[in-house]
Structure formats: C-alpha cells, structure tokens
Structure 1
Amino acid sequence: MKIVVRVKLLPTAEQAVALAATLHACNTAANHVSAVAFDREVFSRNDLQKIIYGEVKDRFGLSAQPTVRTVKKVVDAYTTLRAQIRAGLLGAEGSKRRVKAESKPIRFRPDAAQPFDDRCLSWQCDARTVSIWTVHGRMKDVLFTGSTAQLKTLAEHRQGESDLVCRSGKWFLVATCEVPEAPLNQDPADWVGVDRGIINLATTSDGDNHQGRGLKRYRKRQARIRAELQAKKTRSATRRAKRMARREARHAAHVNHRISKQIVAVAERTGRGIAVEQLDGIRDRVRLRGDQRAEISSWPFHQLGEYFTYKARRAGVPVVEVDAHYTSQRCPRCGHTAKSNRPTRDDFRCRRCGLAGPADHIAAVNVRDRARTAWVFVNAPVPQRT
C-alpha cells in the first residue's frame, strides 16, 4: 500500500535561496504550460510535451527532467479538475463556481509544491541528507530530519516521486513509500465496535470514549472568526481565512490520526477486528437544523473511517462496515428497538428490560454484534451444487 512520509529539510540560508528560486522557476513555467494547454485544448501529456518541451527548457532555464515533471504536474492538475467537475464538486453546469473554474487556465502559486523523481533528487538516508537539482545547479548535502518511525519507513520503503514543499518559510520533502501490508487476520477473536459522533468522536464497545468536545469548541471558534473575516471582504481577510481553514483541517486530521491509531493498536493486540457504521447517505437519512447541517457537513467522519481502514491494513486487522440504522435505539440485550429507549442524547434506557447506559456505548455494542453476524455471513462457505 502507498503512504507518504513528510520530512523536514534543514537548508542553510544559501540553500534556501536556491530552493525558493527553483520553486518559483518551476511554477512560472507551469503557468505558461497551463496557458498553452488551455488555449490549444491539449491535455495529453505526450502531446503537450511535444508542443512545449523545447520552449520551456530554453525560456525558463529548466533541465530536461524538471521540464518533464512540470508538464506532468500541469496535466495532473487538469485531470483533477475534470474529475471534480464530473463528480459535481464544483456545482452544476452554469454555476458561478464551475464557470469560473472552466473559463481560465489553472494557475500555480509561486511556492506551489514541485515533484522530483530519482533523476532530480537522491536520498542519503544514513547521512540524513539529500542531493537535489536546483536552478543554481545540483545542490548536495541538504540536511533533513524526521521522527524515528518516519526515517525508518523512508529508508526501507521509499519509491517513486518526492514533492518539494514550502510552508510558512519551512521546507519539507513529501516522499511516496510502498509499504507491505501485514497478513490479514482471517479469524478474528471478536470485534471492536466503534460508534462515531460529534460530541464523542469515537466510542468503542470496550467503553473507551474519545471525546470531541474540545475539537467542537475549537471548530466553533474558528467558524466564528472566519465569519468575521468573510464579512470584511478584503484580500487580507480572505487570505487569513484560508490559512485558518488549512490549520483547522490539520488539527482535525491530527485528532483523527490519534484516535484511529489507538483503536487499531487495541484491536491488533487483542486479535480482534474493527467494526464501524456505514455512514453513506447520512445527510439524506436524518433531518437536521441549519446549524447542525453545517456541523455535520464539515465534520471529518469519512476521514476517520479512512484512517481506520489504512492503519488496519498495515496491521492486518480486518475492518467491516455494518448497517447504521437504529444502533443507538436498539437494546443489545433483548433486541427491543424504540425511539423512547433514548430519552436524551447521552442516555439509553430500554423500556422493556431496563438495560441502561451511555447511548454511544450502547450503539458501539450494537455495531460489534452486527459485525459478528456480518462476518459469519460473508465468510460462510458457498454451497456446492450437485
């Protein structure tokens, strides 16, 4: 499976100047290539490269391989744009956002990330240095650092391209690694049911509760500040709002990484699988107030599920999705299902047998029980015809 490892570069002042000049030159060239591709409606890598290759090398001072990577970056950007349009992410045909995206060439920021392959960038993992092509010539002995786990993964599994990234004056290399998956546990001892929510981001059938109250307060505060910035309608306010949105996304991703890592570690240690609710179409199944719709739409439920999946694949832990209907209204002991079983958001009390407890924990237990049935059904032997 493919993962990315981000390490921090520690360039000297002279090296940082060369790296900045390289990004600026590559992205200036990318803007020119993008304009040509848009005007001529040529979005095939080979066709575009035949048209623009020589001009880009001579005009922008790029070597052969950086020129090829720059053309590929432009082609990939238009491929992504077309995919977003097909998926409806930019609105319906004729919408303001879609017209704006389709009416002009894609532009690249002067400090946008630039891909490098092994011809332009070589790693010396033992010395923790890289040798990288720049517009000022080949630059050697650029130091990098990272966590022990990152450096080990990089040394053992790095393959393919690496992206040079500049963020807030700091330099990073994002490397692609091909990590082998652990053998899948085909016979889990049991399941860890996980109920995802807003107040409690994840509650397990073991009773572990990963609260989201702090993250919810943080996101509300960020939303309030963004609304104030948007009301100003100035360029500086817009730039600040975008920086805040990226910071918020990184914070939410960090929380989801931590939660999924802990739950996967418990499942791996105990020989169990992980069961989660299938949340596809949740916006269509529930009726929410206006403030709740915004909260649900911006909450990283799907991201947490993706983190569960890929971390479990690395550990060989099976993951199943089960039906999410009535998991918080069904009694796991007697099976009675009723809306009145959940008198408040946090509490569950069965009207038939009297079982009581936290509603999210009850939901996680129901998810676990459904996973037991689903796994048996999926792995049942196919009857042979006679």
Structure 2
Amino acid sequence: MKLVVRVKLLPTPVQAAALEATLHACNEAATWVAGVAFTTKAMKPLALRKHTYQQIKIRWGLGAQAAQHAIKKTCDAYTTLRANLRAGNYGKPGSQRYENASGKPVTFRPQAAQPYDDRMLSWQHEERTVSIWTVSGRMTGVVFAGEAGQLAVVAAHRKGESDLLCQGGQWYLLVTCDITEAQPNTHPVGFVGVDLGIVNIATTSTGKRHSGRRLNRRREADRTLRSKLQKKGTKSAKRRAKKHAGREARRARDINHKISKHIAAEAQRTGRGIALEDLTGIRERARLRKPQRTTLHSWSFHQLGAFIAYKAKRAGVPVVYVDPAYTSRECSKCHHIDKRNRPSQAVFTCRSCGFAEHADRNASHNISHRGWYAWVRGAESQAPALTLIA
C-alpha cells in the first residue's frame, strides 16, 4: 500500500533561495520541453529526449537526472491531459474550454513540484537533515521536521521518488512510502455505518457523533473575513488574505484525519467493517437553497471518505459502499420509508411503528444494514491506492 507523507523542510534563507532557483529552472525547462512536444508531437520520453535533453543541460544547467525528470514530468502532464479530454472533463470536442485545453502547449508554474530520486536526494534520519541537488550544486544539512510517527514511517518505508514543493513560502518534500498492509479481516462480525453530513460531520451506528457546529461557525467567520478583504483590495488586505489563504482547507483536512482515525480504530478494535455511502455526484443531485449551497460545496465529503478508506485498508478493515437513497427517511427498525419520518434535521420518528431516534443515528443504522447486505453479495472496498498524509 502506497502512502505519501508530507515532510516539512526548514532551510536557511540562503538554502531557500537555492531551492527556489532550482524549482524555477526546472519548471521553465519543463515548459520549454512541453512546447517542443506540442510542436513535434513527440509525447513519449524516449522520443522527446532526442529533441530536448542536450539543450536542457546546456541552457538551464540542469544535471542529467534533473533533465530526465523534466522530460518525464512533461510526458506525464500530456498523458493526464489526454485522459481528461477523453473523459469529458474539459467539455465536448469543439467547445471553447476543450479547444483552450487542447490547442496550446502545457505550461508549468514557476513553483510547481519537482520530482527527486535517490541520486538527487539523500536522507540523514538521525541528524534530521537531507542532502539535495540544486542548480547551485549539492546542498547538505537542510533540516527537516515532522510528526514523530510520520518520520518513522519515512525512515522505515520510503521508496521511490520524492517531490520538492513550495506552498505559501513553506518548503515540503512529498515522500512516497510503501506500507505493508495488515492482514484483511475476511469475516467481520458486522459493519460500522457512517453517515456523513454538515451539522454532524460523521455519525456512526455505534453511537459516536462528530459535531460540525463549532467548525461551521469558524468556517463562516473565515468566509466573511475573506470577503471583506477581497472587497477592501488594499495592499495590507491582500497581504492578510494571503496569510490566511487555505486556512479553511487545512482545518478541514486536520479534522477529517482525526475523525477517520477514530472510525478506523473503532472498527478494527471491534472486528467490524466500515460501510460508507456512495456520494458520487451528490453536489449535482442535491437541491438546496442558495445560502446552503456554499456550505455543501465547500465541505470535503470525498476527502473524509478517502481518509476513512485508506486508514481502514491499512488496518485490514473491510470497506463497502452502499446506495445512499432514502437512508435518512427509512426506519432502521421496520424499514418503512416516508418523507414525513424526518420532520426536522435532527429528529426521526417513524410514521409506521413509532420508532424515534436521532435522524443521523438512524441513517447510520440503515447504512450499517446495507453494508452487511453488500458484503454478503461480495462487494469489495474501493479504498484509494495513494493518499496524502497531511
């Protein structure tokens, strides 16, 4: 099982300047390579290397490995672009968006991530430093930091390339690790149903509710502040907006990690699997009033589901996905379905048998039941193969 661990670098100002110059040179070279590939239609590494390899080394002073990675990065970008075009992610052929995407060469941002292999990057785990190639030469003694458990994973399981990345003035290495999966539980005693929502971020059939009320108030405050700063438009407002950029996303990611860890640990401890709703396309299906749309579209349901799935897979916990239709209107006792069963967001009262329960808890029981039926029918986990650890 592959995981990507984010390790923070703590370079000195001189080291940071060298890293920044390296990213700029590598991405400028990759953009030039993309233009050559677009003109010559050479989209494979071997063919593209014949047109660009020597020029990259001479013009930008990149080493052999860095030049190879610039070429491969360009080929991978075109492969992804073609896949998105075929999937219709840029609209239909002939549309303006489709033509804009396919009618010009790929470009790379000056600070886009740059891959490093073991010839360009070495780790000194006891000293908490790395030795890394730059356009100014090999740079040693670059300090790194991170959570102790994640650094232990890097030391024991690092495999393959790492990506150098600069975000908001902070430097990171995205390290690929190959983790041995736990022995899968092929005979779960049941399933923990997980109902995902906004008022309650996650409610489990075992009785745990992860409330989102406090978080939603903070997110609303963030959005209000962002809107005020954008309207003000002064230099200080822009500087403050840049400082707080991504705050909401980082907070949501942290909370999603904590919730998913708790759910996976509980399922592992009790010998159960995890049942999740298949929420693919929920944003297109949902019919909400305008004030509610921002809240729905900004919350990362997919991210939380993915975190639960990969943590469960790592722990050997089976995961199944069930049809979400009517889980909030169906009685978990008699299975009577009626819109009137749920008179408010938090209340569920069955019109047939009189069963009363918190609405999200009732939905989680329905998801748990459907998860068991799906498991009996032979459903398999759809846990992602590669997931970021913040």
Task: Normalising by structure 2, report the TM-score.
Answer: 0.88
Where 2:377 maps in the other structure, the secondary structure is helix
* 1:111–1:374 CA distance, 2 compared to 1 (3 A): closer
Quick one: which amino acid aligns to residue 53 of structure 2? Y
* 1:212–1:99 CA distance, 2 compared to 1 (3 A): farther
Q: Which residue of 2 aligns with 1:382?
A: none
Map 1:92-103 onto structure 2 (within 5 A). 92-103=92-103
Q: Which residue of 2 aligns with 1:209?
A: 209
Take 2:82 and 2:249, find their aligned partners in 1: how far apart are those partners? 24
Map 1:164-313 onto structure 2 (within 5 A). 164-223=164-223, 246-283=246-283, 285-313=285-313
Structure 2 unpaired stretches of 5+: 380-390
Deviation of residue 182 (structure 1)?
A: 0.5
Identity in percent: 55
Structure 1 unpaired stretches of 5+: 380-386
Q: Which residue of 2 aligns with 1:322?
A: 322
Take 1:294 and 1:202, find their aligned partners in 2: how far apart are those partners? 19
Take 2:63 and 2:304, find their aligned partners in 1: how far apart are those partners? 41
Map 1:135-174 onto structure 2 (within 5 A). 135-174=135-174
Q: Which residue of 1 aligns with 2:63?
A: 63
Take 1:233 and 1:340, find their aligned partners in 2: how far apart are those partners? 48
* 1:36–1:377 CA distance, 2 compared to 1 (3 A): closer
1:48-92: per-residue Cα shift (whole Å, max 9, x none)?
111100001011101111100111111222222222222232333
1:129-185: per-residue Cα shift (whole Å, max 9, x none)?
211111111122222121111111001110110111122322211110111111111
Deviation of residue 27 (structure 1)?
A: 1.6
Take 1:115 and 1:280, find their aligned partners in 2: how far apart are those partners? 31
1:322-378: per-residue Cα shift (whole Å, max 9, x none)?
222221212222222211111112100112222112100000011112222332333
Deviation of residue 244 (structure 1)?
A: 6.4
Q: Which residue of 2 aligns with 1:21?
A: 21
Where 2:324 maps in the other structure, the secondary structure is coil
Provide the aligned C-alpha RMSD in A: 2.7
Task: Normalising by structure 1, report the TM-score.
Answer: 0.89
Take 1:281 and 1:138, find their aligned partners in 2: how far apart are those partners? 48
Deviation of residue 251 (structure 1)?
A: 2.7
The answer to which structure, 1 or 2, has the higher relative contact order (CA under 8 A, 6+ apart) is 2
Take 1:96 and 1:256, find their aligned partners in 2: how far apart are those partners? 37
Take 1:37 and 1:243, find their aligned partners in 2: how far apart are those partners? 38
* 1:32–1:235 CA distance, 2 compared to 1 (3 A): farther
Deviation of residue 44 (structure 1)?
A: 1.5
* 1:339–1:312 CA distance, 2 compared to 1 (3 A): same
Residue 348 of structure 2 is aligned to residue 348 of structure 1:
yes
Q: Which residue of 2 aligns with 1:5?
A: 5
* 1:244–1:376 CA distance, 2 compared to 1 (3 A): same
Residue 50 of structure 2 is aligned to residue 50 of structure 1:
yes
* 1:332–1:184 CA distance, 2 compared to 1 (3 A): same
Quick one: which amino acid aligns to residue 27 of structure 2? N
Take 1:77 and 1:141, find their aligned partners in 2: how far apart are those partners? 32
Deviation of residue 243 (structure 1)?
A: 8.2
Deviation of residue 259 (structure 1)?
A: 1.1
Where 2:248 maps in the other structure, the secondary structure is helix
Q: Which residue of 2 aligns with 1:73?
A: 73
Q: Which residue of 1 aligns with 2:365?
A: 365
Quick one: which amino acid aligns to residue 278 of structure 2? Q
Q: Which residue of 2 aligns with 1:85?
A: 85
Take 1:231 and 1:90, find their aligned partners in 2: how far apart are those partners? 31
Take 1:75 and 1:247, find their aligned partners in 2: how far apart are those partners? 33
Take 2:84 and 2:219, find their aligned partners in 1: how far apart are those partners? 26
1:169-223: per-residue Cα shift (whole Å, max 9, x none)?
2221111011111111111122211111121111011221112223433444455
Deviation of residue 225 (structure 1)?
A: 5.6
Q: Which residue of 1 aligns with 2:383?
A: none
Quick one: which amino acid aligns to residue 115 of structure 2? P
Map 1:107-122 onto structure 2 (within 5 A). 107-122=107-122
Take 2:233 and 2:148, find their aligned partners in 1: how far apart are those partners? 45
Take 1:95 and 1:239, find their aligned partners in 2: how far apart are those partners? 37
Take 2:363 and 2:96, find their aligned partners in 1: how far apart are those partners? 42
Take 1:80 and 1:250, find their aligned partners in 2: how far apart are those partners? 26
Take 1:35 and 1:323, find their aligned partners in 2: how far apart are those partners? 46
Take 1:214 and 1:179, find their aligned partners in 2: how far apart are those partners? 35
Where 1:375 maps in the other structure, the secondary structure is helix
Deviation of residue 248 (structure 1)?
A: 3.1
Quick one: which amino acid aligns to residue 280 of structure 2? D
Q: Which residue of 2 aligns with 1:383?
A: none
Deviation of residue 15 (structure 1)?
A: 2.1
* 1:43–1:251 CA distance, 2 compared to 1 (3 A): farther
